[in-house]
Amino acid sequence: MAGKNSSRKQTSRKDGAKVHQFPSAQERAERQQQPRPPFPPQHQERPGLESKVQPRPEYQAPLYKGSEKLKDKVALITGGDSGIGRAVAVLYAREGADVALVYLREEQSDAEETRRAVQQEGRQALLLPGDVTDPDFCREAVETTVEEFGKLDILVNNAAFQQHQEGLEEISEEQWDRTFRTNIYGYFHMAKAALPYLRPGSAIVNCGSITGLRGSKQLLDYASTKGAIHAFTKSLAQNLVERRIRVNCVAPGPVWTPLNIVDQPPQKAAKHGEKAPMERPAQPEEVAPAFVFFASAADSSYITGEVLTLLGGETTAA
Over residues 101-115, the pLDDT tens digits come to: 999 999 999 999 999
Kindly tell me if the per-residue pLDDT of 240 is higher than 80: yes
* CATH class of the structural domain 70-310: alpha beta
CA distances from 189 to 44, 76, 155, 230 (A): 28, 13, 12, 16
pLDDT tens string 167-215: 999 999 999 999 999 999 999 999 999 999 999 999 999 999 999 999 9
Summary mean pLDDT of the chain? 92
Domain extent listing, the chain:
70-310
Kindly tell me if the per-residue pLDDT of 232 is higher than 70: yes
Catalytic residues: 222
Q: Is 257 helix (H, G, I), strand (E, B) or coil?
A: coil
- What integer pLDDT is reported at residue 79 of this predicted model? 98
- What integer pLDDT is reported at residue 315 of this predicted model? 86
Kindly tell me if the per-residue pLDDT of 277 is higher than 90: yes
- What integer pLDDT is reported at residue 316 of this predicted model? 75
For residues 253-270, average pLDDT:
93
Kindly tell me if the per-residue pLDDT of 258 is higher than 80: yes
For residues 221-232, average pLDDT:
98
For residues 216-232, average pLDDT:
98
Kindly tell me if the per-residue pLDDT of 286 is higher than 80: yes
**Cβ–Cβ < 8 Å for 310, 107:** no
Please state, in angstroms and rounded to a whole number, the distance separating the CA atoms of residues 227 and 203. 20
Kindly tell me if the per-residue pLDDT of 26 is higher than 80: no
Kindly tell me if the per-residue pLDDT of 19 is higher than 90: no
- What integer pLDDT is reported at residue 12 of this predicted model? 45
- What integer pLDDT is reported at residue 28 of this predicted model? 65
Kindly tell me if the per-residue pLDDT of 23 is higher than 70: no
Please state, in angstroms and rounded to a whole number, the distance separating the CA atoms of residues 153 and 309. 24
What pTM was estimated for this model as a whole? 0.90
Please state, in angstroms and rounded to a whole number, the distance separating the CA atoms of residues 169 and 44. 25
Residue in 92, 132, 86, 94 with CA at minimum distance from that of residue 113: 86
H helix runs in the chain, sequence order = 25-30, 83-94, 108-120, 135-149, 173-180, 186-194, 211-214, 220-240, 258-263, 266-269, 284-295, 297-300
CA distances from 19 to 14, 81, 251, 318 (A): 11, 35, 42, 50
- What integer pLDDT is reported at residue 10 of this predicted model? 42
Please state, in angstroms and rounded to a whole number, the distance separating the CA atoms of residues 286 and 284. 5
pLDDT tens string 135-169: 999 999 999 999 999 999 999 999 999 999 999 99
pLDDT band at residue 30 using 50, 70 and 90 as cut-offs: low
Kindly tell me if the per-residue pLDDT of 25 is higher than 70: no
For residues 33-55, average pLDDT:
93
